[in-house]
Each structure stands twice: as C-alpha cells, then as structure tokens.
Amino acid sequence: MGFTRISFLLLPITLFCSKIHSQPSNALKPKPTQVILAGAMVDVERGQLVKNVLVVIEKEKIVKIEKGSEKTKYNDIIDLSEYTILPGLIDCHSHLTSPYFDTSIDAYEMGVASYGVLGTLYAKKTLEAGFTTVRDVGGVFYSDVALRDAINKDWIPGPRMYVSGKALTMTGGHGAWGNWLAPHMKLEPNPGFPVDGEDEVRKQTRTLIKNGVNLIKINATGGFGTSKSIPGAASFTIEEMMAAVQEANKIGLKVAAHAHGADGIKNAVKAGVNSIEHGTFLDAESIQLMKNQKVYLVMDLLAAHYELIEKNDDFSDKKTNLNNQEMFQKLSDNFNKAYTQGVKMAFGTDSGMYPHGRNAEQFNLMVKAGMKEMDAIKSATDVAALLIGIEDKTGSIEEGKWADIIAVKGNPLEDIAVLEKVEFVMKEGKVYMSNIK
C-alpha cells in the first residue's frame, strides 16, 4: 500500500489531527498586516517596562515598534491598551506527550499512537498558557517528533517544539523501562533505549539524529521517577557522554544532561554538554564549573513542588536522607546559590510530571527562591531562546523577530503571578487564544 512502518504507526495520529482540523479557522491564518496597541510592554532586552506601545506585524514577523500615539495611522487595531504584552514564553524542559501526572493511565497498557493523541491535548493547553515555544526533552516512541511535525504543519495548535526523542540512559539507569522486573524477565526491545559504552552511546545518538531530533538528552545521574534508580548517583562516564556530545556537535545539535547529583553534574559539564537539567544536589564546585564552561542550568521547581509538596510522594528509597519539605527547601536554596553566583538560568518546569498548562506557576516559585521578577521573565524569554539557539527569531518583542506575543492583565514586574492567567496568545502572527473584550 506504500506505507512505511513509521507512517503506518502514526496513521491514527494523522487521522485524528486531520479530522479535528480539516477546516481550519480563519482566526489561525495570519493577516497581511496587524497592529497591536498595548498599554505596556515588557522589554526583556533592556530590562524595563515600556508604556503605550504599537507593534506592527506583517504575516508572521514584527516589522515595527512605535509609540501608541501613532495609532491613528492604522485600521483594525488589536486593542490591548488595558494589558501588558510580553514575548511568547519558552519552557526549556517539557514532556508534551507525557501523561506521567495522570495516575489513571498505565503506560504499559497504552498503544503507541495514544502518546501522540494525548500530546495534541497537552500542546493546546501549553500554548494557551502563554508558552509559544518548548524544548521537549523526552518523548517515547518518537511521539515528540510526530507532535512537533503535526504542529509545524498546522494540523493542530501547539507551541513550537524542539525535541530530543528518548533520553540516552545506561542499563538500570533513569528512564530505562522495567527496572522493577525480575532478572529472568526482560522488555525486548526496551523503549527506554539503555546503552552502555562509548560505541553503543554513539550508535544510539546517531539513531536519534537519523529520526529527526533537534537535540540530544543524556541521563548523567539516576532519577526520582524510575524504580531502583538513585538521583544522587552518577551514571554514564565522562567518555560515554563525550561520545554523545561529539556526534551531536558534528551537525550543530546541542546536548542536555539530566543530572541531580553533584558528581554527575560535573561529569556532564566536563563532557561538554550545553545544559544541566534539575541540578538538585549541585555544590560549590559544580556551580563554578558551570560558570566557567557557560553551561545553562534548568531547574524545575514546579515539578518538584508538585511531587514533593502537593502530592507528598514517597521518595524514601532514594537515599537522600531528607524529608520532602527539606528536599524542596534544598532545591530552592541551591537555585538561589546558582542564581546569585551568576550561573545562566533558563526556565524549565518538567511539564508532564504535573498537569500540563500550569507551567507559569513556576515563576512565583522562582521569585520566592530569590530571583528578581525581570530575571525570571528573561529566563523564559531571551535566555531560553539563547539556550535553544533561536535568539535571532524569538525571545523578545523586536523588529524582525517572529510575532510571538502574549498579554496579561497587570504588571508582572510587580506581581509575577499575573503570568498564570494569560488573556491573549499570538504565535507567528496567528491569534490562538483571546479573552480580550
């Protein structure tokens, strides 16, 4: 019939997406020229709030920014004069096809296509929460690749996605499926893709690249969400991780390292990764090493708060010698140490560990941990864009960049929590959500 194996597996997703968007709304088609009149604009490049601004958009790009007094020159203005506009937000640690937070779903019972179908729901929630871009660092069965492509083709609404596929992990490591199985039982093939030694790491990195990922993720330590895995323990050797970095760098891809423990963080930085995800137990040496190597830190305070405080999950088997309150306080304290000592901090929430769409709740946690409101916003805009490598296209409201613009009621520099209620979302000139009256 002419189907490849992959296209056959993705057929249910394609049919689902085609059905719900066979007649796309005219609201999703960017007009030749649009003008936004904003009461205020957060200028993340200059670190200030600018009052009374006009943003002129042609198709998907911003072409001019003027004072609001020039509005008489234009017709059909989008009136956001009672609102503050910001660049579309960026979450650098998401899992848009992950239903991990939903205890009613058993991953071992789900069909492959179900991850993509759920992803269509989670992507819409994320976009409507004001996140026009995400870096998705872990999707099983290449569901993240399929979701990214569906969004890019306008089959479904969702944020722009930069995806890693399934993270590289060692045998018995974080993310390896079936760690709880008895020795005589195996998952073959293992969806977790455990690899050992430089050659296996190199081959799996090449496989991920062949299958269309935008970056590589490697698990440098154990994790909280995997049976028999210890978050503070290092996993891959420096040489194994260097093999992944070398293969990624050949074609200009970056590498993110899941790392909770200090030894694993230091190993990953020495191997040449671009970002450390989580960083729960970082120490003074790892902070200094990250600063020296200009490695970004992506600390997921929201997912940690959800699991440790809201749900009060039992992590007594993880050898931390801390209760949940102490664990979250340590994470917040380490966040503050990294921030005050000048580590580059990019916004990432580990969405999928908590219900999708709540991403912006992390801003308040970051401010409570000692970060200034403007720096928190910058971590999810121009700093996040730099980490991904798209700073020339998005991350700020500037002429020549994509028209990724959101609006909130109030001033987020005075009350960061206003970002939890986004009223208007535009991505590349298309209005995806508006509660403006």
Q: What's the whole-model pTM score? A: 0.90
Q: Are the C-beta atoms of residues 131 and 381 closer than 8 Å to each other?
A: no
Cα–Cα distance measured from residue 175 to residue 164, given in angstroms and rounded to the nearest whole number? 14
Gap between the Cα atoms of 125 and 349, Å rounded = 15
Q: Count how many residues are written for the chain.
A: 437
Cis omega (within 30 of 0) for bond into 24? no
Element containing residue 116 per DSSP (H, E): helix 112-128
What are 431's two structure tokens?
């209005």
- Yes or no: is domain 89-388 CATH 3.20.20.140? yes
pLDDT at residue number 16: 42
From first to last of its 437 residues, what are the pLDDT tens digits of the chain? 343 333 334 434 443 444 444 344 444 566 789 999 999 999 999 999 999 999 999 999 999 999 988 878 888 899 999 999 999 999 999 999 999 899 898 877 888 899 999 999 999 999 999 999 999 999 999 999 999 999 999 999 999 999 999 999 998 777 664 554 456 555 555 556 789 999 999 999 999 999 999 999 999 998 887 777 788 899 999 999 999 999 999 999 999 999 999 999 999 999 999 999 999 999 999 999 999 999 999 999 999 999 999 999 998 888 898 999 999 999 999 999 999 999 999 999 999 999 999 999 999 999 999 999 999 999 999 999 999 999 999 999 999 999 999 999 999 999 999 999 999 999 999 999 999 97
For residue 162, give the nearest of 216, 202, 110 by alpha carbon: 216
CA distance 111 to 78: 43
Evaluate whether 173 touches 229 at the Cβ level (below 8 Å).
yes
Give the span between the Cα atoms of 44 and 115, in whole angstroms. 35
Q: Which CATH number fits domain 26-87+396-434: 1.10.150.120, 2.30.40.10, 3.30.365.10, 3.90.470.10?
A: 2.30.40.10
Q: Give the separation between CA 127 and CA 379, rounded to whole angstroms.
A: 18
Q: How many CA atoms, within 13 angstroms, populate the side-chain half-sphere of residue 415?
A: 9
Structure tokens at 312: 């009060």
Helix axes 262-271, 284-293, angle to 10 degrees: 20
Nearest to 141 by CA among 190, 92, 103: 190
Q: Rounded to a whole number, what is the distance in angstroms from the first to the last CA of the chain?
A: 51
Annotated domain spans of the chain? 26-87+396-434, 89-388
Angle formed by the axes of helices 262-271 and 238-250, to 10°?
Answer: 40
Written as one letter, the residue type at 132 is T
Write out the two tokens for 175: 């993310």
Exposed, middle or buried, 268 (CB in 10 Å: 0-12/13-18/19+)? buried
Q: Say whether 89-388 and 26-87+396-434 share the same fold.
A: no
Question: For residue 384, which amino acid is it?
Answer: A
Phi, psi of 74 (to 5 degrees): -120, 150
Distance, C-alpha 28 to centroid of its chain: 23
- Residue with token string 């200090």: 262
What one-character-per-residue DSSP string does 181-230 give?
A: S-TT---SS-TT-B--HHHHHHHHHHHHHHTT-SEEEEE-B--TTSTT--
- Cβ contacts of 375 within 8 Å, gap of 6 or more: 339, 345
What is the predicted pLDDT for the residue at 12? 45
State which amino acid sits at residue 328: F
CA 348 to chain centre: 5
Confidence at residue 102, expressed as pLDDT on a 0 to 100 scale = 93
Give Dmax over CA atoms of the chain in angstroms. 76
